[in-house]
């Protein structure tokens, strides 16, 4: 029976440390501040922004929201980002995705100064991550590495399989695991014999967006299972990409949904804001 990895508890510990660091920075006259931009009315995004706002409030980080209407032009968004780049009182800039289709999100991410890109989505930070240089790391993979470290789970030399190759989870996860000396395979929708590949893994990271996609028979006895997926079911319940009931019988460690990776993503965001404030 797997040991449950408690992301909520570690996230709480990280937030407490962040709060202490924020208090220290304030004593030095630095007031850490995060600016969040949301374009349009995506209801899931509104919930994520509210959670980020609460995490900032709880840690003493100043939080500023820009809710832009759906019809906002790309140039208007770029102008706002450029204004925030120049504003010395702002330490972190976050553009909530998705944005309306008429906006080129890659251009917007790349307009955010890499020094304030606390989400780690800017091409400069992605490049630095690949090169093993100090940078802002995408919060979800960064949080997963912290969870593995907290539970003293060996990464070096292990076979890791990441399912999903998105720019915000799968690809940076690959780099983070590689940097910790894992042998990493990334699977996606064109992968052949996916179950056989997953079965070889000592560490499985599922970031697909399909409920219960990873079943017990795909999991090697004793594997560590990290479930990134957040899928809202019709009854309002949140479930992951892994069939938790089956997986917990095979795995040595497993993250629950909710309460696993999700809280860590937000904890790493506030940690990144403090890092940026310190760098300033």
170 is a contact residue toward ligand NDP (CB under 6 A) = yes
Judged by CB under 6 A, which of 112, 228, 251, 268 binds ligand NDP? 228
Query: Looking at 35, 96, 265, 276, which residue binds ligand NDP (CB under 6 A)?
Result: 265
> From residue 104, how far is each of 4, 56, 73, 107, 111 by CA, in Å?
40, 28, 10, 5, 11
Taking a C-beta distance cutoff of 8 angstroms, is the pair 125, 159 a contact? no
Listed residue (212, 210, 185, 213) closest to 197, CA to CA = 185
Q: Which is nearer to ligand NDP, 52 or 90 (CB)?
A: 52
Nearer to ligand NDP, 58 or 212 (CB): 212
Residue 203 CB, shortest distance to ligand NDP, in Å, is 17
Binding of ligand NDP by 49 (CB under 6 A): no
Q: Which of 204, 207, 202, 137 is nearest to 172 (CA)?
A: 137
d(CA 112, CA 136): 12
Helix (H, G, I), strand (E, B) or coil at 65: strand
Helix residue ranges per DSSP H, the chain: 7-27, 43-59, 74-86, 105-111, 123-131, 139-150, 170-179, 194-199, 244-250, 261-279
What is the nearest approach in angstroms of ligand NDP to the Cβ of residue 265? 3
Candidates 33, 116, 117, 119; catalytic one: 119
CB of 207 to ligand NDP, least distance (A): 4
| 98/222 with CB nearer ligand NDP | 98
Q: Which residues contact 13 (CB under 8 A, 6 or more apart)?
A: none
Q: Does 168 bind ligand NDP (CB under 6 A)?
A: yes
Site for ligand NDP in 181-220 (CB under 6 A): 187-191, 194, 207-210
25/256 with CB nearer ligand NDP: 256
Phi, psi of 253 (to 5 degrees): -135, 150
Tell me which residues are annotated as active site: 52, 96, 119
Which parts of this chain interact with ligand NDP (CB under 6 A)?
140, 163-166, 168-170, 187-191, 194, 207-210, 228-231, 261-262, 265
């Amino acid at each position: 029976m797997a040991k449950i990895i408690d992301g909520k508890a570690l996230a709480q510990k990280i937030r407490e440390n962040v709060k202490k660091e924020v208090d220290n920075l304030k004593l030095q006259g630095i007031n850490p501040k995060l600016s969040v931009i949301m374009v349009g009315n995506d209801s899931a995004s509104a919930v994520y922004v509210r959670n980020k706002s609460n995490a900032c409030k709880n840690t003493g980080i100043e939080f500023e929201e820009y809710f832009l209407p759906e019809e906002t032009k790309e140039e208007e968004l770029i102008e706002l980002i450029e204004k925030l780049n120049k504003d010395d009182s702002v330490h972190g800039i976050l553009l909530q995705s998705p944005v309306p289709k008429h906006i080129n999100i890659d251009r917007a991410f790349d307009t955010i100064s890499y020094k304030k890109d606390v989400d780690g989505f800017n091409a400069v930070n992605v490049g630095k991550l690949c090169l093993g240089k100090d940078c802002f790391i995408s919060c979800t993979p960064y949080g997963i590495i912290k969870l593995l470290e907290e539970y003293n789970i060996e990464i070096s030399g292990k076979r890791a399989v990441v399912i999903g190759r998105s720019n915000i989870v799968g690809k940076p996860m690959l780099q983070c695991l590689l940097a910790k000396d894992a042998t990493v395979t990334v699977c996606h929708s064109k992968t052949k014999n996916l179950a056989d590949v997953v079965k070889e893994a000592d560490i499985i990271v599922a970031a697909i967006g399909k409920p219960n996609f990873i079943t017990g028979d795909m999991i090697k006895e004793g594997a560590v299972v990290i479930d990134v997926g957040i899928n809202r079911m019709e009854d309002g319940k949140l479930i992951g990409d892994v069939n938790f009931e089956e997986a917990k019988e095979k795995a040595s460690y497993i993250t629950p949904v909710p309460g696993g990776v999700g809280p860590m993503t937000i904890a790493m965001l506030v940690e990144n804001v403090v890092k940026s404030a310190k760098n300033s």
